[in-house]
């Protein structure tokens, strides 16, 4: 039930950003995760407090799924004083390490190795924590992925490599720039257990993530999970200003509808439950957005702070 | 200086870069283009090329900067003239070994046996809330790495001619372009520019302002404004940074006796620092005031628009420093 709520929250959060963008109330570039809610929720629901994730330029869903406060996320994305990164990170860099979200990253592949290091640190310090690296199918072509897989296997680091395969590398179908049979198959030569999963099936993602976290926590090292999903919107909002139509509308079924159906079939979701959830979440997010928009800009001297300890 | 002729074609800056590439591709079959989404041309410099030259010469690459920059070095050594669009120039950091240790070293280390006629194009600079990893001007890093030519055109005319010169050069050349200037319009005049040129409007007598990219635009706006107040500022658009156009720079500073260097890179070890030191050494006797540097303070570019505006040199800040130096 909590999964449904979180997925609904992600969807609404992103839709509000799409509306804000259209209305000219957003600054910078935003990459939305609509359609990919199940991967974030399926994996993050298998994590505990004290675990860490690293994320990507398309990372709002991971952050909401990790339990971050929507008001502080909105504030960051709007460049306001009360944002998680004090207004210095923006959409591509929302981070809250204290809440287990080491952060989104504007550099494709930039966070993957960090997750290996976070996992190593947790192991060495005996904190019991593990980490998960989210990255896209496009990022699977960065050399750092292979180097990270090797390190993680050598160190038996308690880390999940979670590839969100949404089929696109910006404007290019990933198949056109990616050799080999699958992305998951890239982990096998390192001796890392790898699975492919329907990434829009939150139950299946959660089951595999649960197995992977159990493996990691019991000292049996990394796991690779390729989640097949779809990017419903463009690469970023506003791209139609220069990108001619380049893709088919995604065929995937709505992951939220799918979970709702599962809950219904199990007799867990009464009629009207989702609508009520949506209304509650919408009200909560609207209040969060209003509060964030009412915040001041960061004070100018803040530009010079936080460089060194 | 470039004269303006009414018949010259008018273009925006990013399409002028593309036109520079296309002109070379039409006459030299060795020129090929690759990078991520170059067929769409995300940042502009390669937009439309695939329509004219086909997908055999315009290749979309995976997100593998180290590999496709390295492959371009190999292709250059192997007889082609690759033009790589790396999108944001700070994505070069992912592949920096290929820039600094490979492209910039191979000719020297092989005792001159290998030429690397390679061009890498990337946007540089803050264009509004793109945050630290997509907003920097890394020209100083490329200069310090060594063995790399660097140009940073600020007008369509400069973009067209310097791209051509870059492709025709037998050295690796980094072509930077400012994302906030992509839509700037200007005419492509017939008078070419070469590597090592600066563009100077020889009108000033009071202060020389040296700048590139967006900073050159701001400097020109300041010059116009101050001219109305009777102060004559000579803007030296240092559109090629390696080779550094010392003759043009020193000629201007010798005339005015005062210099302000404006830089969208970080102050420490900046291009501004190099220029200030070089002017001090070469034109010491002509200087009537210390050379001043105006650059981004030593911080990453922050996301919030008001913070970004606070760290990138503004017209007001340039004008204020020019006035201080003029009075000094
Ligand atoms: C090192 C680097 N190269 C290129 C880019 C530009 N870029 C941003 S997102 C993106 C596509 C990423 O594709 P994928 O990993 O599949 O993630 P998705 O956008 O599909 O979520 C690219 C090429 C970048 N940010 N960093
Ligand atoms: Mg993708």
CA angle B168, B173, B177 (to 5 degrees): 105
Please name the residue of chain B whose CA is at the shortest distance from the CA of residue A29. Answer: B130
- As assigned by CATH, the class of the B10-187 domain is alpha beta
The CA distance from B47 to B120, in Å, is 15
Q: Residues of chain A whose pLDDT is less than 70? A: none
Phi, psi of B2 (to 5 degrees): -90, 125
Structure tokens at B117: 């006629």
Atom of ligand 1 nearest to the CA of A135: 15
Query: Domain extents for chain B?
Result: 10-187, 199-327
CATH 3.40.50.920 fits B199-327, yes or no: yes
Interface of B with A (CB under 8 A): 36-37, 40-42, 44, 47, 60-67, 91, 93-94, 128-134, 297-300, 302-307, 310-311
Q: Domain A34-238+245-256 falls in which CATH fold?
A: Rossmann fold (3.40.50)
Distance CA(A199)–CA(A278), nearest Å, equals 22
Residue range B201-228, pLDDT digits in tens:
888 899 999 999 999 999 999 999 999 9
pLDDT at B1 over 60: no
**For residue B243, cis peptide bond before it (omega within 30 degrees of 0):** yes
ipTM of the complex: 0.95
Q: What is the pLDDT of residue B311?
A: 98
Is residue B250 pLDDT above 90, yes or no?
yes
**What is the DSSP pairing of strand B81-88 with strand B207-211?**
unpaired
- Residue B192, classed as helix, strand or coil, is coil
Size of interface A-B (CB pairs under 8 A): 125
Q: Which residue out of B38, B63, B88 has the highest number of ligand 1 atoms within 8 Å of its CB and is therefore the one to mutate?
A: B63
Instruction: Note the pLDDT of residue B6.
Output: 77
Number of the ligand closest to the Cα of A61:
1
The per-residue pLDDT for range B97-140, each reduced to its tens digit, is 999 999 999 999 999 999 999 999 999 999 999 999 999 999 99
Closest CA to A111 of A55, A178, A29: A55
| Tokens of residue A114, six digits | 């960090």
Look at residue B202 in the predicted model and tell me its pLDDT.
81
Chain B closest-CA separation from residue A287 CA (Å): 22
CB–CB contact B94 A27 (8 Å):
no
Is residue A77 within 8 A of residue A17, CB to CB? The reply is yes
Question: Considering chain B, what is the average pLDDT of its residues?
Answer: 97
pLDDT at A2: 96
Beta strand spans in chain A (E): 52-54, 101-103, 131-136, 159-165, 168-169, 172-173, 194-198, 223-228
The total number of residues shown for chain A amounts to 309
Distance of CA B263 to the CA centre of its chain: 11
Indicate if the alpha-carbon torsion angle A168, A174, A177, A182 is positive or negative: positive
Between CA A227 and CA B267 the distance in angstroms is: 44
Q: Which one of B307, B311, B314, B316 makes the best mutation probe of the A interface by having the most chain A beta carbons within 10 Å?
A: B307
In the prediction, which pLDDT does B3 show?
A: 58
Torsion of CA A154, A159, A161, A162, to 10 degrees: 170
* Residue A96 per-residue DSSP state: B
Choose the residue to mutate in A142, A169, A233, A246 for probing ligand 1, maximizing ligand atoms within 8 Å of C-beta.
A169
Contact B67 A143 (CB under 8 A): yes
For residue B302, which residues of chain A lie inside 8 Å, CB to CB?
87-88, 298, 302-303
For the residues B285-314, what does the mean pLDDT come to?
A: 98
Look at B63 and A142 and tell me if their CB atoms are within 8 Å: yes
Distance CA B49, CA A293 (A): 42
Q: What is the three-class DSSP state of A265?
A: helix
Q: Tell me whether residues B63 and A141 touch, CB distance under 8 A.
A: yes
Q: What is the pLDDT of residue A269?
A: 84
Nearest to B14 by CA among B179, B145, B250, B130: B179
Which of the following is catalytic: B134, B157, B177, B178? B134
Interchain pair A107, B133: CB under 8 A:
yes
- Would you say the C-alpha torsion A75, A89, B267, B288 has a positive or negative sign? negative
- Set of chain A residues whose Cβ sits within 8 Å of the Cβ of B42: 170-171, 242-243
Instruction: Tell me, yes or no, if B134 is annotated catalytic.
Output: yes
């Amino acid at each position: 039930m909590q999964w449904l709520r979180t997925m609904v929250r992600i969807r609404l959060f992103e839709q509000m950003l799409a509306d804000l963008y259209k209305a000219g109330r957003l600054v910078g570039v935003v990459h939305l995760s609509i359609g990919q809610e199940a991967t974030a929720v399926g994996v993050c629901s298998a994590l505990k407090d004290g675990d860490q994730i690293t994320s990507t330029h398309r990372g709002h869903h991971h952050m909401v799924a990790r339990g971050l406060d929507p008001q502080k996320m909105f504030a960051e994305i709007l460049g306001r004083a009360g944002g998680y990164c004090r207004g210095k990170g923006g959409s591509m860099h929302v981070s809250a390490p204290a809440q287990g979200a080491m952060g989104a990253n504007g550099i494709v592949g930039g966070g993957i190795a960090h997750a290996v290091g976070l996992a190593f640190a947790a192991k060495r310090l005996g904190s019991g924590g593990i980490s998960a690296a989210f990255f896209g199918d496009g990022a699977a072509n960065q050399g750092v992925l292979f180097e990270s897989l090797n390190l993680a296997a050598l160190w038996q680091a308690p880390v999940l490599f979670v590839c969100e395969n949404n089929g696109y590398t910006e404007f290019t179908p990933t198949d056109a720039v990616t050799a080999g049979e699958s992305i998951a198959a890239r982990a096998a030569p390192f001796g890392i257990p790898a699975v492919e999963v329907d990434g829009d099936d939150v139950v299946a993602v959660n089951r595999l993530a649960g197995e992977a976290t159990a493996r990691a926590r019991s000292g049996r090292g990394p796991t690779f999970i390729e989640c097949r999903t779809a990017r419903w919107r463009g690469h970023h909002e506003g791209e139609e200003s220069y990108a001619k139509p380049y893709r088919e509308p995604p065929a995937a079924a709505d992951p939220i509808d799918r979970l709702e159906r599962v809950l219904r079939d199990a007799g867990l979701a009464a009629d009207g439950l989702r609508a009520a959830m949506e209304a509650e979440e919408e009200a909560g997010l609207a209040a969060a957005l209003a509060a964030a928009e009412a915040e001041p800009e960061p004070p100018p001297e803040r530009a010079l702070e936080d460089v060194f300890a | 200086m470039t004269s303006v002729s009414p018949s010259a074609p008018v273009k925006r800056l990013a399409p002028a870069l593309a036109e520079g590439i296309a002109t070379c591709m039409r006459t030299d079959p060795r020129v090929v283009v690759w990078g991520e989404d170059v067929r769409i041309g995300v940042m502009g410099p390669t937009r439309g090329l695939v329509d004219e030259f086909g997908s055999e010469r315009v290749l979309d690459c995976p997100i593998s900067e180290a590999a496709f920059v390295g492959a371009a070095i190999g292709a250059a050594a192997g007889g082609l003239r690759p033009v790589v669009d790396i999108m944001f120039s700070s994505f070069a950091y992912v592949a920096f070994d290929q820039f600094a240790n490979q492209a910039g070293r191979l000719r020297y280390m092989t005792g001159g046996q290998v030429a690397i006629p390679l061009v890498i194009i990337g946007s540089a600079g803050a264009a509004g809330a793109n945050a630290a990893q997509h907003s920097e001007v890394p020209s100083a890093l490329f200069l310090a790495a060594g063995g790399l030519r660097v140009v940073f055109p600020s007008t369509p005319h400069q973009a067209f001619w310097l791209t051509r010169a870059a492709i025709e050069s037998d050295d690796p050349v980094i072509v930077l372009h400012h994302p906030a200037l992509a839509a700037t319009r200007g005419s492509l005049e017939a008078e070419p520019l070469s590597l090592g040129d600066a563009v100077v409007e020889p009108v000033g007598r009071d202060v020389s302002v040296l700048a590139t990219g967006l900073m050159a635009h701001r400097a020109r706006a300041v010059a116009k404004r101050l001219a109305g107040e009777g102060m004559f500022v000579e803007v030296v658009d240092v559109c090629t940074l390696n080779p550094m156009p010392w003759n043009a720079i020193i000629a201007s500073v010798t005339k005015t006796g005062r210099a302000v260097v404006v830089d969208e890179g970080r102050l420490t070890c900046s291009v501004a620092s190099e220029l200030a030191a070089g002017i001090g050494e070469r034109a010491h006797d002509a200087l009537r005031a210390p050379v001043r540097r105006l650059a981004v303070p030593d911080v990453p570019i922050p996301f919030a628009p008001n913070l970004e505006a606070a760290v990138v040199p503004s017209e007001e800040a340039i004008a204020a420093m020019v006035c201080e130096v003029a009075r000094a």
